[in-house]
Structure 1
């Protein structure tokens, strides 16, 4: 048993889970379940062994229940929206108010005067009650930022000093910012700006590109992973504190909304898992209306989350569909409150158990088939979306597998080189349209010249300069 415990010890000491899903799908509900301290409060589909018909599902749930009761530890929730607000606190109060109004803060030479629903004076005066709290938190945020940027903070401070500072900053990230936002929401509820989801989306997009909630002159060198990088700094800081206190570091990020944030953590931690939370559209919208969102706000949020962007901007913007596609685990949320939602809790218990102890129970037939479909999609040469499928009979015996690909005789995008198209090499790999349409060809030339001008081709280090025809075609036809 000691040998087995040692094998799985790393998973028990460090796990990072990134939640993703459309706004209102239930990511926060899942996060609330994962942070529960008293596991006995949560009711799963567990049944006593002699309480009814016994089948393999009952046996699996029993194994999971027994395991989770002995090994459950609450997760710490880092909310991405609070991290976005952390960036907001790096700005002066006046700039924060301006950003909150929805007016873009851009370089003076590009600025435009925009009509506003509420005058500067009245809106600023309305926020006066939170000004002192803002400045108090801002002071701690600036200190925390300096602390995080000191890569040797473990060596600079004594163990007690490090622990004291980290606990102060932990409280800032997990409590103080959320409490400020709650008070702010109460004030904004008295205005036409009831919720600020749109502003948070805009700030998040700016952070991914400029490492700031405002538009800056220079793109940050960590783009498009600036937000993920900041979250990772918090994770590392918490891990230092937990090691001093001899505690495991179990983190949930609520929620990741850009595919490159998922890839950022996946490349860094073998113990990182992305969980997508999915619910019916009618349930999702109803939940948003109950939270005070207006129909126009829900529609604006949905439009931003579609992920149908100009490919040049896609690195920094929200793309929920792609995040769901990249997820390791998919949960179904039926909208029922936690205390009665045995199915959702059972799903969470099962997957947390398998993260802690891989192989604890075998997959269900549907999970087994989905794994085959997932593997099949890797055959696809499509750059925008890879899709796999497994066809079975009623007994889940595989009859066929398939994946999306180009028509017979054509070359998939992953094998085509943008540079070859520009130089008219490997002509058979490209369509007549790609080779002869002037607008399309001119745009390709602009792209290749841009790569040549900043030596990007050299930085590819032998990789193919593949491109998605659909993305470029959409860009050239919309312009």
Structure 2
């Protein structure tokens, strides 16, 4: 018994507290995933119900995690970000709430908004049930909620239950007023909170308050702490859903037990789902995608706007969610069993070949000297045996962008570091000087820049001359291109029918090269492939398949698959 107690204590941290943050594009399945995790009892699908999703040894791996997950299942408590945004909305005075909803619509009358606020669910809010004090405490980050008072505890639980129903009812009313209004209102509310710490119709004209970027995650964190206190520290919690990468970083920095999980659905399945169930038009879907991919022209957009594209890029675990059959969530459930079992008991099984190869691509991307984005790529044969690796960077012998500086460009004229064009083109140097003159006083006055190398992007400066966005002028090779060139440089065999793994998604140029090389599969992480699939991949007689990566990556790869103690020793201790 002493040995079993010893083993239990080793795994205690994993079993006591798990925090999962979900991210993904609207319609990909974050809410479905949260609902599955909330289930009090669950039966995971048999292999026969997965339509060949797992093959080879992965079938045995799944059988192991399925059994473990079912035996050790504990339901998660779901914190919906939309519910917390509802609380911010409810604290607004009637006039301001009306103005905010009106500002989010496209073709709605202000009188309709007034009617919704005065006669709809907003007029019957649970604030009238004497919970306003507890709600204000929740949003007041300078106060502590007194959970030693049973009345407060009961009120808190009741609020979390009531706000869930309230959000559902408000969603229906907003969408009845105008199709897609719910998404617009809650996206705008999120941006307003990240910019000024509250909801305001005129948030874009207000001065940016840097600490507001973390206002919403601080509120979420207060709910997490509250749930843990109510449940005596033993709690499994899922956040549905994280849309801003800085919010994800907030939780990564605070909780070792936090995993950011992206839910990815094929474009055609997701589009059909949004059109059929939510009645979104193609224009509305495009607007949502643009909003969630970090686009926009507002100041501080990289801090305050949703950026699901970046959230997916930094996710720890990627789940694939085919939505080709309504209500069939078997594939999604199977992956949930896989990774929840590993969160509870790391090292229970070994990684898949897809995870193993992508982890290599993820690791080699750190070699990149690109200051915009680091990307890694791996080329394998048909059996996932690695033949070459590459990362986005300048040609061998040139100095990477991260190791050059704007000060050096203006003052040093080093011929091996800065090109003849950069040293002698009058228009380029004029633009570079503008950049230098803007940043020089800031660099000199701010302690944040002490000891920093202030790099610059050649492409950005060059494109600003003609006010164009031309990718041809980048100094760096793409990661996929670099991996292909290593094959030509050092020799390689067995590539026809092989695979390309990339931590991003291939552009049209790299997709064409993969096609020409006879690559059979392109495995990628970033689900924003532009026109690559529609224009390059889906044509001809030997097109490669585009496959969305699924699995654990980065630190999570080690946290989930590294055994706390060797399995043999664990079994020996337990059997003694």
The TM-score range, normalised by the shorter chain, is 0.7 to 0.9
| Partner in structure 2 of residue 282 of structure 1 | 268
Indicate yes or no: 2:186 matched with 1:169: no
Query: Structure 2-normalised TM-score?
Result: 0.70
Q: Which moved more, 1:14-23 or 1:126-135?
A: 126-135
Instruction: Indicate which of 362, 365, 383 corresponds to 2:350.
Output: 362
Indicate yes or no: 2:72 matched with 1:92: no
| Partner in structure 1 of residue 33 of structure 2 | 30
**CA shift for structure 1 position 283:** 0.9
In structure 2, distance between residues paired with 1:331 and 1:54: 17
Deviation string for 1:70-100 (max 9, x for gaps)?
Answer: 2111111111222222222232122112111
Task: Please give the residue correspondences for 1:67-106 in structure 2 after superposition, counting only pairs within 5 Å.
Answer: 67-102=68-103
In structure 2, distance between residues paired with 1:304 and 1:194: 13
Q: Which has the higher contact order (CA 8 A, sep 6+)?
A: 1
Task: Please give the residue correspondences for 1:400-415 in structure 2 after superposition, counting only pairs within 5 Å.
Answer: 400-415=388-403
Equivalent pair of 1:209/1:226 in contact (CA under 8 Å): no
Equivalent pair of 1:90/1:138 in contact (CA under 8 Å): no
| Partner in structure 2 of residue 333 of structure 1 | 321
Equivalent pair of 1:208/1:226 in contact (CA under 8 Å): yes
Task: Please give the residue correspondences for 1:195-274 in structure 2 after superposition, counting only pairs within 5 Å.
Answer: 195-214=181-200, 215=203, 217-243=206-232, 248-274=234-260
In structure 2, distance between residues paired with 1:218 and 1:166: 37
Equivalent pair of 1:20/1:275 in contact (CA under 8 Å): yes
**CA 1:350–1:464 in 2, change beyond 3 Å: closer, same or farther?**
same
Instruction: Indicate which of 109, 117, 133 corresponds to 2:124.
Output: 133
Superposition RMSD in Å: 3.2
Equivalent pair of 2:353/2:384 in contact (CA under 8 Å): yes
Equivalent pair of 2:78/2:238 in contact (CA under 8 Å): yes
In structure 2, distance between residues paired with 1:448 and 1:292: 51
Task: Please give the residue correspondences for 1:375-390 in structure 2 after superposition, counting only pairs within 5 Å.
Answer: 375-390=363-378
Partner SS state of residue 401, structure 1: strand
Deviation string for 1:403-438 (max 9, x for gaps)?
Answer: 111233433333344555566687854556666442
| Partner in structure 1 of residue 63 of structure 2 | 62
Indicate yes or no: 2:109 matched with 1:119: yes
In structure 1, distance between residues paired with 2:86 and 2:171: 13
Instruction: Indicate which of 14, 18, 23 corresponds to 2:21.
Output: 18
**CA shift for structure 1 position 360:** 0.3
Equivalent pair of 1:77/1:251 in contact (CA under 8 Å): yes
In structure 1, distance between residues paired with 2:344 and 2:308: 27
Partner SS state of residue 358, structure 2: helix
**CA 1:384–1:145 in 2, change beyond 3 Å: closer, same or farther?**
farther
Partner SS state of residue 318, structure 1: coil
Equivalent pair of 1:45/1:342 in contact (CA under 8 Å): no
Equivalent pair of 2:102/2:109 in contact (CA under 8 Å): no
Equivalent pair of 1:64/1:353 in contact (CA under 8 Å): yes
Deviation string for 1:300-322 (max 9, x for gaps)?
Answer: 11111222456953122222221
Partner SS state of residue 21, structure 2: strand
In structure 2, distance between residues paired with 1:44 and 1:280: 23
**CA shift for structure 1 position 384:** 2.5
In structure 1, distance between residues paired with 2:313 and 2:235: 27
In structure 1, distance between residues paired with 2:410 and 2:213: 27
**CA shift for structure 1 position 31:** 1.2
**CA 1:234–1:389 in 2, change beyond 3 Å: closer, same or farther?**
same
In structure 2, distance between residues paired with 1:83 and 1:150: 14
**CA 1:425–1:28 in 2, change beyond 3 Å: closer, same or farther?**
farther
Deviation string for 1:266-299 (max 9, x for gaps)?
Answer: 1111111111111111111111121232333212
Deviation string for 1:448-473 (max 9, x for gaps)?
Answer: 43444xx43x1345344445555666
Q: Which moved more, 1:266-275 or 1:433-442?
A: 433-442
Deviation string for 1:204-254 (max 9, x for gaps)?
Answer: 1221121122217443242433322221222122222222xxx52211111
In structure 2, distance between residues paired with 1:22 and 1:158: 36
In structure 2, distance between residues paired with 1:5 and 1:426: 61
Query: Structure 1-normalised TM-score?
Result: 0.84
In structure 1, distance between residues paired with 2:308 and 2:206: 28
Q: Which moved more, 1:121-130 or 1:418-427?
A: 418-427
Equivalent pair of 1:19/1:255 in contact (CA under 8 Å): yes
Partner SS state of residue 239, structure 2: strand
Instruction: Indicate which of 298, 303, 310 corresponds to 2:290.
Output: 303
| Partner in structure 1 of residue 135 of structure 2 | 144
Deviation string for 1:11-50 (max 9, x for gaps)?
Answer: 111111111111111111111111111113x425389xxx
**CA 1:295–1:407 in 2, change beyond 3 Å: closer, same or farther?**
same
Equivalent pair of 1:195/1:293 in contact (CA under 8 Å): no
